[in-house]
Chain A
Amino acid sequence: MNGLRTRRSLVDMIEIEHLTKRYGKKTAVDDLTFTVKPGVVTGFLGPNGAGKSTTMRAIVGLDAPTQGLARVNGKHYSEFRSPLTEVGALLEAKSVHAGRSAYKHLLALARTHGIPKTRVQEVIDLVGLHEVAGKRVGGFSLGMGQRLGIAVALLGDPAVLILDEPVNGLDPDGVKWIRLLLKGLAAEGRTVFLSSHLMSELAQTAEHLVVIGQGRLLADTTVEDFIAGDGKSRVRVVSPDAARLAEHLAGPGISIASPEKGVLEVSGTEAAVVGQAAAAHGLVLHELRTENGSLEDAFMQLTADAVEYRQTTEGANR
C-alpha cells in the first residue's frame, strides 16, 4: 500500500526550465530554472517586480513563456483533464466578478469539473466565509477576497498549490491560520509553492526557498542553509587602531568595510583570528563581536547584488 502511494512522489512537482518571459522589451523572467518538491512548503522570495507573479502565471498557463517551460508533474498545465484537481492557484486577490456572490463564483468554477455543491460548501467553511458567502464580492475586504481566493485554490482538492502573496491583507489571525493551513497541506504530501516579498513571512512558513531578483534565480536552498550560508556572518571590531588592524587582516577571501571611524566589519574570517591578529601586533580592541546575518540581511544582500549587476550591464550597453 505504502509503496504504491510513494510512487507518485517522484513526479508531484513543479518544474521550471529555462523560463524566460518578456513583455515587449522588458524581461520579467530571465532563464529561470528550479523545481518545487512535494511534502514541504516552498517559499518564492523576491522583491516586488522580481518576476514571481509572472512565473506563477506561466505555471498555470495564463502567460505563455517567451522561452523555456513551466510544467507540473511533467505536463503542461493545459494538458490536464482536470486542471483544478491537479493545481490550485491563488494568483491575484479578487479574480472574481464584483457583482457575483462568493458562493456562485465557487459554484461556477466547481461546475466546470463536476465538483459537487457539498465541496463548495466545504471550502467556504474551511476559509471561514460562511457568513458572507451569499454576498456580492464587490463589498469584500482585501482579507475576505484573499480567503475566497484560497477557497478557489482548494476547491478541487489539488495535489499542487500555488499561492501568490496569500497573506496580503489578512489580519494577524488570518496570517497565523494560513501558515498552519499551508504547513498541514504540505504535510499531507502536497506541493505547496508560496510567494512573498517578505522574508520574515516565509521564514516562518517555508522549509525550502527559491529566491529571485530581476527575474533571475539568486538562490534555491533550504531556509536554514540560506540563513547560514548566504547570510554570511561577519566580525565587528571597534578599535582605536582600526586602520592598522585592517592592514594586518587583509588577505584573499577577506573583505573589510569601515562603516564609521574606528569600526571595522570583517567578513570571510572569524572573531578568534581577528583577536589573535590584534594581540600579535599589540593593537587595542574595544569590541569584538560576531554578527550573524538574518534572513532579511541575506535577502537584502542577494537582491542588492542583483540590482547592481543589472545596472552595470545596462550602463555597459550604452
Chain B
Amino acid sequence: MTAAVMTDRPAAYAPAGNYKLSAAGLLRSEWTKLWSLRSTWIVLLCAVVFAAGLGALISGTVPSDMEELSGAGMAIDFSMSGVALSSIFIAVLGILVITGEYSTGSIRSTISAAPKRLGVLWAKAAVFGAVVAALFAVMVFATFFLSQALLEGTGMGGVSLSDDGVLRALLGYVAMIVYLALLAIALGAILRNSAGSIGFYIGVIMILPQLATLLPWEWVSDVTPYAPGDVPMTTTLVDTANGTLGLGESWLWMGIWLVVFYGLAAVLLKRRDV
C-alpha cells in the first residue's frame, strides 16, 4: 500500500531547476536593466546628438578666409567640441545606473540575487563601459568625417585618419569618454545618492580643477593636471607635446584613478548594509 508510506509531513522541497548564478548571467542582467529604462535611451540619444551636432555646427560655420585656423590638431578640436558636453550626459547616466538602484530600492533585489555583491559592480561597469565605447566609437568617427566634409576649403580641411596622431587622438576621445563613464559608476557606488553624486561629479571633478588654477599658489597648477577629470586630456591631442602630461602619464593616471575609485567602491559595497 502506497498510503502506508506516506507521512503527514512531506520531505523538504528540492528545487527542480538547475540554475546557477554566473558572471555571464550578471552581465546579461545588467544589459537588460540598462535598456529597460526609458532614461537610458533619452540620455544616450542626447549625448550623441549634442556631440555630433555641436561638432558639425561649429565646423560648418568656420569662415574659409581665417588663415590662423589650420592644422589637424585644430580640426579635431573643432569637430570634437561637443564631446565635453556629451561627457556630462554620459557621466550622469553612469551615476544613475547605480544610484537609481539605491533611490528606488531595486538594489535589494539586485544584491539578493548576487549576495557576493562585487560581481554586480563589475558587471555594471563592463556593460555600461562597452555600450559607451561602441556608441562613441561610431559617433566620434562619424562626426570626424562629417566635419571634415564641412571644413573642406578651410585651413582645417583635408585632414585624414592616416595623418600623424589623428587616429590616435580620435581613439583618445573614445577612451576619455569611456574612462569618465567608468569613473561615474564608481562614484555613484561610493556616494549611493543621485543628487550628491552628480553634484560631486560636476563640482569637484569637472569645475574645481579649472577654478583652482586661479588660486595664487604655484603648487596648485602643478597638481591640477593630475585631477581625475583632467588626466585623459593628453590622449585627445594630435600633438601630445601640447599636453600638460605625457601620453604615457595620461594613460597611467587614468588607470590609477580607476583603481582608486573602484577600490573604494568595492570595499564600501562589501562592508555597508544595503
On chain B, the residues within 8 Å of A156 by CB distance are 15, 17, 19
Q: Chain B residues with Cβ under 8 A from A97's Cβ?
A: 33, 37, 100-101, 104, 106
User: A107–B114 Cα gap in the complex (Å)?
Assistant: 15
List residues of chain A with CB within 8 A of the CB of B274.
Answer: 57, 62-63
Chain A residues with CB under 8 Å of B271's CB are 64
Binds A, one of B3-11, B54-62, B210-218: B3-11
Q: Which of A9, A82, A100, A109 contacts B12 (CB 8 A)?
A: A9
Whether B242 is near chain A, meaning CB under 8 Å from some CB there, is: no
Interface contact A157-B15, CB-CB below 8 Å: yes
Contact call A98/B29, Cβ cutoff below 8 A: no
Which of B16, B101, B113, B116 contacts A113, CB < 8 Å? B113
Within 8 A of B (CB), among A185-242: 187-191
Q: Is the CB of A108 within 8 A of B108?
A: no
A82 CA / B22 CA spacing, docked (Å): 9
Looking at chain A's contact residues, the main secondary structure is loop
Whole-angstrom CA separation of A24 from B38 in the bound complex? 39
Q: How far is the CB of B237 from chain A (nearest CB, A)?
A: 39
- Interface size of B in residues (CB-CB distance below 8 Å): 44
CB nearest to A11 among chain B residues: B12
Please, which residue of chain B has its CB at the minimum distance from the CB of A107?
B32
Q: Which residues of A contact B109 (CB under 8 A)?
A: 95-96, 105, 109, 152
Q: Is B219 an interface residue (CB 8 A)?
A: no
Tell me whether A92 and B105 are in contact in the complex, defined as CB-CB below 8 angstroms, given that A9-B12, A104-B32, A107-B32 are known contacts.
Answer: yes
The CA-CA distance from A6 to B6 in the complex, in Å, is: 12
In the complex, what residue of chain A is closest to B116 when comparing beta carbons?
A: A78
Please name all residues of chain B whose beta carbon is closer than 8 Å to the beta carbon of A40 when the two chains form the complex: 9
**Stretch binding the partner chain, chosen from A83-91, A264-272, A276-284:** A83-91
CA A40 to CA B11, docked complex, whole Å: 11
Identify the interface centre among B100, B107, B111, B273: most chain A CB within 10 Å of its CB: B273
Pick the contact of B115 from A78, A95, A100 — CB < 8 Å? A78
In angstroms, Cα B102 to Cα A95, docked, is: 9
Tell me whether A8 and B108 are in contact in the complex, defined as CB-CB below 8 angstroms, given that A78-B115, A108-B32 are known contacts. no
Q: Are B32 and A111 in contact (CB under 8 A)?
A: yes
Asked whether B12 lies within 8 Å of A191 as measured between CB atoms, the reply is yes
Nearest CB in chain B: distance from A170 CB, A: 19
User: Taking the nearest CB of chain A, how far is it from the CB of B19, in angstroms?
Assistant: 4
* B11 in contact with A96 (CB, 8 Å): no
Contact of A114 among B13, B16, B20, B108 (CB under 8 A): B20
Kindly identify which residue among B19, B36, B38, B111 contacts A115, using a CB–CB cutoff of 8 Å. Answer: B19
Which of the residues A61, A107, A187 comes within 8 Å of B10, measured between beta carbons?
A187
Number of contacting residues on A, CB 8 A? 57
Measured CA separation A104–B36 after assembly (Å):
7
Closest to A158 in B: B15
Does B66 lie at the interface of the complex (its beta carbon under 8 Å from any beta carbon of A)? no
Contact of A165 with B by CB under 8 A: no
Q: Which of A92, A111, A113 contacts B20 (CB 8 A)?
A: A113
Is A77 positioned at the interface, with any CB of B under 8 Å from its CB?
yes
Distance (Å) between the CB of B26 and the closest chain A CB? Answer: 6
The B85-111 residues at the A interface (CB cut-off 8 A) are 100-101, 104-111
Separation of A15 and B193 alpha carbons in the complex (Å): 34
Interface membership of chain A positions 168-195, coded 1 if the CB is closer than 8 angstroms to chain B and 0 otherwise: 0000000000000000000111110000
Asked if A95 contacts B105 (CB within 8 A), the reply is yes
Q: How far is the CA of A159 from the CA of B14 in the complex (A)?
A: 6
Chain B positions 20 through 51: 1 when the CB is less than 8 Å from some CB of chain A, otherwise 0? 11100110111011001111000000000000
Contacts of B160 in A (CB 8 A): none
Contacts A9-B11, A96-B104 supplied; 16 other A-B pairs, CB < 8 Å: A6-B12, A38-B12, A78-B116, A98-B104, A104-B33, A105-B109, A107-B36, A108-B36, A111-B25, A112-B26, A113-B21, A113-B113, A152-B109, A156-B19, A188-B10, A189-B11
Q: 9 closest Cβ contacts across the A-B interface?
A: A12-B12, A104-B36, A5-B11, A78-B115, A9-B12, A189-B13, A95-B108, A113-B19, A111-B29
